[in-house]
């Protein structure tokens, strides 16, 4: 079934023979690289760090700006609700009455209204 001679030939081909000329290269523990050779790599690394720092700074600024905008939006919503409550009081609608919803005008100069909610 198996050809022993063929198997032996394949096995011989797979194992490379070492000669005295093919000795492994032994490298020193430390090798000095001149500035002229390392400078491009150094500069790219520095540029990468600078870019990362710039991105981090930008993300922090964006996060702070986002927080300030949400705080501003929350404050606007609070003041809006206070104004709606004041108008309700002036019109004699009890504060806890939720039968009416505020309908804002579609354009400047038109009247708004409180409309009874249909159930």
Q: How does the average pLDDT of the chain come out, rounded?
A: 87
In sequence order, the 6+-apart residues with CB closer than 8 A to the CB of 97 are 88
Comparing CA positions, the residue from 77, 73, 74, 101 lying closest to residue 87 is: 101
For the ranges 10-24, 54-68, 103-117, which has the lowest average pLDDT? Answer: 10-24
**pLDDT for 71-114, tens place per residue?**
999 999 999 999 999 999 999 888 777 788 899 999 999 999 99
Per-residue pLDDT, 7? 52
pLDDT on residue 46 = 98
Q: Which residues, in sequence order, are bridge partners of residue 115?
A: 101
Highest mean pLDDT of the ranges 11-15, 46-50, 115-119: 46-50
Q: Quick one: pLDDT at residue 118?
A: 83
Give me the pLDDT at residue 52, please.
98
Cβ atoms 67, 75 nearer than 8 A = no
Q: Which residues share a beta bridge with 113?
A: 103
Q: Is the pLDDT of residue 47 over 60?
A: yes
Interior angle at CA 27, CA 26 and CA 31, nearest 5: 170
pLDDT in the model for residue 14: 58
The yes-or-no verdict on residue 32 having pLDDT over 70 is yes
Instruction: Report how far residue 66's alpha carbon sits from residue 59's, in angstroms, rounded to the nearest whole number.
Output: 10
Report the b/e string of 54-76 with b at 16+ CB within 10 A.
eeeeeeeeeeeeeeeeeeeeeee
Please state the domain extents for the chain.
39-119
């Amino acid at each position: 079934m198996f050809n022993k001679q063929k198997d032996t030939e394949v096995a011989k081909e797979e194992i490379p023979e070492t000669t005295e000329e093919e000795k492994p290269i032994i490298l020193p523990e430390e090798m000095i690289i001149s500035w002229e050779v390392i400078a491009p790599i150094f500069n790219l690394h520095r540029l990468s760090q600078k870019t990362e720092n710039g991105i981090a700074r930008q993300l922090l600024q964006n996060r702070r700006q986002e927080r300030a905008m949400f705080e501003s939006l929350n404050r606007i919503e609070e003041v809006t609700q206070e104004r709606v409550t004041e108008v309700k009081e002036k019109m004699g609608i009890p504060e806890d009455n939720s039968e009416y919803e505020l309908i804002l005008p579609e354009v400047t100069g038109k009247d708004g209204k409180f409309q009874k909610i249909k159930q």
